[in-house]
Amino acid sequence: MTISVLSVASEAYPLVKTGGLGDVVGALPAALAAHDVNVTTLLPGYPKVMAAVEGAAALHDWPDLIGAPARLLSGTLGGHKLLVLDAPGYFAREGGPYGDGAGRDWDDNWRRFAAFGRAAADIASGAVRGFRFDLLHAHDWQSGMAPAYLRFAPAAARRVRSVMTIHNIAFQGRYDPGIFASLALPDRAFAVDGVEYYGGIGFLKAGLEAADAITTVSPTYAGEILRPDFGMGLEGLIRARAGRVHGIVNGIDPAVWNPATDPALAETYDRTSLPGRAANKRALEAAFALEPDDGPLFCVVSRLTWQKGMDVLADTVDALVAGGGRLALLGSGDAWLEHAFRQAAERHPGRVGVRIGYDEALSHLMQGGADAILIPSRFEPCGLTQLYGLAYGCVPVVARTGGLADTVIHANAAALDARVATGIQFDAVTHESLAYAIALAIQLFAEPDRWASLQRAGMAADFSWDTSGRRYAQLYRELLSA
């Protein structure tokens, strides 16, 4: 039996992406189609998303959706069904999906994403003629109210199952209790097993409490968030619902991330033609004004934040250069970290190149041209850049946490001898252990056979969506038969 799922998210590649959430939501429809699951994606009508549904006729109107009018439009996303919530009062703004160009969050984010969640629940439960879904799958706090609205719908409404996925627990959508009156929920929803969260309202909390199942994006992280240091206030709830928590690792979309076909590369290559990477290394050096040489070239493609351990990396750049390495960094985020990396580039001209900003094509060239990618995250639900690194022969050097622990095989002596190692892991996110991991990478790089073995083993690993798509499909079926 084919299952129809409404996937509800604030980002989906290629229409809107600020990070890994966009990649995963963009890849899910194809990943699940192979397992007899029909996915329709619902996105907010940001200007770029609206451009993709230009001229579409309205399928439904909400005269007053949590305080502003909205309509529903349809289009396609990579050949799969797309629904767009056109609500100009909420989404027709310049800037990013969550804030203005200067990075300040919009003051009315609670209203924007409450409206989004409300619309999702209406659509899933059949309020829009022509649409009927078996299950609603919500991603991150921006969609967290959708399962809550389903749960607190009038008793007569059709029961629709729901799944809440945590991609990043650090962002929780936490607001003052004063907004409750505007959410159009029954009074009983303001309760510890409802939308109430430490005296206020929690959007992610609401979704986690209401959903029939909770998933996160790696098995290790699913275990970590039971603990206070990773659960960030939600660990109690997650422990209470532990029987419903599943860790399903992300895959990568081979149509977008494949070094044999990638149009962003200077030269395409595969596992049998690794020397083809040299042309990409030269192009990368040119793009970052680095001295061309054959020594180890590290890269970073990351949000510049505490989560990603970028403060520790900033303290370790000098050691990396002193050891004979070079660094190309692409990222944006906290102003003080952007400043620290700009200064590092000034200290080490030709050895450290920094590009502050967001550049999708350049991120592909970095994976295709750098020798290793550094990912010193303090927590990492799954991580995608290490998966791209593995697929591209750009050896990941990662903190042993979350999905990084699950997807990289550390180059210890036994793994190297068995030729199964795919990268380097280190334990504590400190200057000392990161410097040690970088030194180990430089040492292994100096042994070309060993290094090529790391690259080839990584490129041979299977991170396609096939296995994970099957697991989501299985979970949906279990929930529908319960």
Ligand X SMILES: Nc1ncnc2c1ncn2[C@@H]1O[C@H](COP(=O)(O)OP(=O)(O)O[C@H]2O[C@H](CO)[C@@H](O)[C@H](O)[C@H]2O)[C@@H](O)[C@H]1O
Query: Which C-beta is closer to ligand X: that of 189 or that of 429?
Result: 429
Q: Which two tokens stand for residue 468?
A: 């994970």
- Can residue 20 be called a binding residue for ligand X (CB under 6 A)? yes
Binding to ligand X in span 158-187, by CB under 6 A: 167-168
Query: Which C-beta is closer to ligand X: that of 151 or that of 167?
Result: 167
DSSP H helices in 235-303: 235-240, 277-287
The residue to which tokens 């083993």 are assigned: 457
- Count residues near ligand X (CB under 6 A): 26
- Can residue 301 be called a binding residue for ligand X (CB under 6 A)? yes
Detail the DSSP E strand segments found in 277-345.
297-304, 326-333
Q: Which residue among 202, 383, 389, 469 contacts ligand X (CB under 6 A)? A: 383
- Can residue 455 be called a binding residue for ligand X (CB under 6 A)? no
**Exposed, middle or buried, 198 (CB in 10 Å: 0-12/13-18/19+)?**
exposed
Query: Which C-beta is closer to ligand X: that of 214 or that of 442?
Result: 214
Stretch that binds ligand X, among 19-27, 41-49, 204-212, 235-243 (CB under 6 A): 19-27
CB 312 within 8 A of CB 431: yes
Q: Which residue among 10, 40, 109, 332 contacts ligand X (CB under 6 A)? A: 332
Q: How far is residue 84's CA from residue 312's CA, in Å, rounded to a whole number?
A: 40
CB 45 within 8 A of CB 92: yes
CA 69-164-110 angle, to 5 degrees, is 35
Measured at CB, which residue is nearest to ligand X? 19
**Nearest CA-CA partner of 40 in 151, 141, 132:** 132
Stretch that binds ligand X, among 74-82, 116-124, 288-296, 375-383 (CB under 6 A): 375-383
CB of 318 vs ligand X, minimal distance in Å: 23
Query: Which C-beta is closer to ligand X: that of 190 or that of 358?
Result: 358
CB of 140 vs ligand X, minimal distance in Å: 8
Tell me, residue by residue from 21 to 40, as one string, x for binding to ligand X by CB under 6 A and - for no binding.
x-xx----------------
Query: Which C-beta is closer to ligand X: that of 8 or that of 160?
Result: 8
- Can residue 220 be called a binding residue for ligand X (CB under 6 A)? no
Q: Which residue among 303, 342, 450, 470 contacts ligand X (CB under 6 A)? A: 303
Q: Is 17 annotated as a binding residue?
A: yes
Q: Which two tokens stand for residue 456?
A: 């080839």
Q: How far is residue 22's CA from residue 334's CA, in Å, rounded to a whole number?
A: 20
Stretch that binds ligand X, among 17-25, 228-236, 275-283, 453-461 (CB under 6 A): 17-25
- Can residue 250 be called a binding residue for ligand X (CB under 6 A)? yes
Q: Which two tokens stand for residue 439?
A: 């030194």
**Exposed, middle or buried, 101 (CB in 10 Å: 0-12/13-18/19+)?**
exposed
CB of 20 vs ligand X, minimal distance in Å: 3
Q: Exposure pattern of 24-63 as b/e (b: 16+ CB <10 Å)? A: bbbbbbbbbbebebebbbbbbbbeebbebbeebeebbebe
Q: How far is residue 360's CA from residue 349's CA, in Å, rounded to a whole number?
A: 24
CB of 89 vs ligand X, minimal distance in Å: 28
Detail the DSSP E strand segments found in 90-180.
135-139, 161-166, 174-175
CB of 167 vs ligand X, minimal distance in Å: 4
Query: Which C-beta is closer to ligand X: that of 173 or that of 331?
Result: 331
Residue 163 neighbours by CB distance under 10 Å: 24
Q: How far is residue 15's CA from residue 67's CA, in Å, rounded to a whole number?
A: 26
Q: Which residue among 143, 162, 280, 302 contacts ligand X (CB under 6 A)? A: 302
Q: Which two tokens stand for residue 316?
A: 């370790």
Stretch that binds ligand X, among 102-110, 300-308, 321-329, 422-430 (CB under 6 A): 300-308
Stretch that binds ligand X, among 109-117, 358-366, 420-428, 471-479 (CB under 6 A): 358-366
Query: Which C-beta is closer to ligand X: that of 40 or that of 401?
Result: 401
Please report, as ranges, the residues that interact with ligand X according to CB under 6 A.
Answer: 19-21, 23-24, 167-168, 217, 250, 301-303, 330-332, 358-360, 363, 380-385, 403
Give the residue ranges of the annotated binding site for ADP-alpha-D-glucose.
17
